[in-house]
């Protein structure tokens, strides 16, 4: 059984007020996506890494691969309009067996702990599907300008990545969604929608997604202290 990692990297970074997509911003002289790729390069359970990205960043990604000796990167493929299409493009770009595992991880979650990645893979080996998530700790409010209601946080989690699936399960779930013109927020939603049981694996608060300038500042401070 092989384990393939797909890193969708097609985001435009519009929320960062930066002409450069956030995954390519350099922090401490190193691109954010390079921090992410380093985790997968180091993980002994990962066999290959496939990146889906906009074509105009292929050269930069090739430079990153060479500069940091990311030998596990086997393909850089063109992404789609939506993240979902980017993942599907990557999934269809290589040959895998039905029970091979596919790990999907956001390019802008650069502080993924190795043990969380490993636990997610081991869980999917047994169950076929696993999503990394953290338990909701704060009071959850529903509303817009004012409170409409409060949500019981007892069984509520914040989904993260990585999300890990058997190849046959992820391909089936994504093909079903494509046929029905359904766009999900992540791959675990597609698998659940297709009728598969998705195991929850405990994540980490460090595994946050860099989506805005405040997140970028937090990441910068963490990196400078490490």
Which residues are within 8 A (CB) of 182 and not within 5 positions of it... i.e. 6 or more apart? 176, 190, 193
Q: What is the pLDDT of residue 213?
A: 93
Q: Is 150 helix (H, G, I), strand (E, B) or coil?
A: strand
Q: Which domains does the chain have, with CATH numbers?
A: 3-225 (3.90.550.10)
- Among 14-23, 132-141, 202-211, the range scoring the smallest mean pLDDT is 14-23
Over residues 80-116, the pLDDT tens digits come to 989 999 999 999 999 999 999 999 999 999 999 999 9
Q: How far apart are CA 122 and CA 201, in angstroms?
A: 10
Over residues 49-76, the pLDDT tens digits come to 999 999 999 999 999 999 999 999 999 9
In 26-180, which residue ranges form alpha helices assigned H by DSSP? 32-42, 58-67, 83-91, 114-127, 167-179
Sign of CA dihedral 219, 159, 84, 114: positive
Question: Would the pLDDT of 199 be above 80?
Answer: yes
Question: Would the pLDDT of 15 be above 60?
Answer: no
Over residues 140-186, the pLDDT tens digits come to 999 999 999 999 999 999 999 999 999 999 999 999 999 999 999 99
Read off the pTM: 0.95
């Amino acid at each position: 059984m092989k384990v393939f990692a797909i890193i969708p990297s097609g985001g435009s970074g519009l929320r960062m007020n930066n002409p450069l997509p956030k995954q390519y911003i350099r922090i401490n002289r190193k691109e954010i996506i390079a921090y992410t790729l380093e985790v997968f390069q180091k993980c002994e359970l990962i066999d290959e890494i496939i990146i889906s990205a906009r074509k105009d960043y292929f050269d930069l990604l090739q430079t990153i691969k060479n500069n940091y000796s990311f030998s596990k990167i086997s393909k850089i493929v063109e992404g789609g309009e939506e993240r979902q299409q980017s993942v599907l493009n990557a999934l269809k770009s290589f040959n895998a067996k039905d029970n091979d595992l596919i790990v999907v991880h956001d390019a802008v979650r650069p502080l993924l702990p190795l043990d969380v990645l490993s636990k997610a893979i081991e869980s999917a080996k047994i169950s076929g599907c696993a999503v990394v998530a953290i338990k909701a700790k704060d009071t959850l409010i529903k509303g817009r300008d004012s409170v409409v209601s409060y949500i019981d946080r007892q069984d509520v989690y914040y989904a993260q990545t990585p999300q890990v699936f058997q190849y046959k399960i992820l391909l089936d779930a994504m093909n079903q969604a494509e046929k029905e013109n359904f766009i999900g927020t992540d791959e675990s939603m597609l698998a659940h929608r297709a009728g598969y049981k998705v195991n929850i694996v405990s994540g980490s608060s460090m595994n946050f997604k860099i989506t805005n300038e405040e997140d970028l500042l937090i990441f910068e401070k963490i990196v400078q202290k490490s």
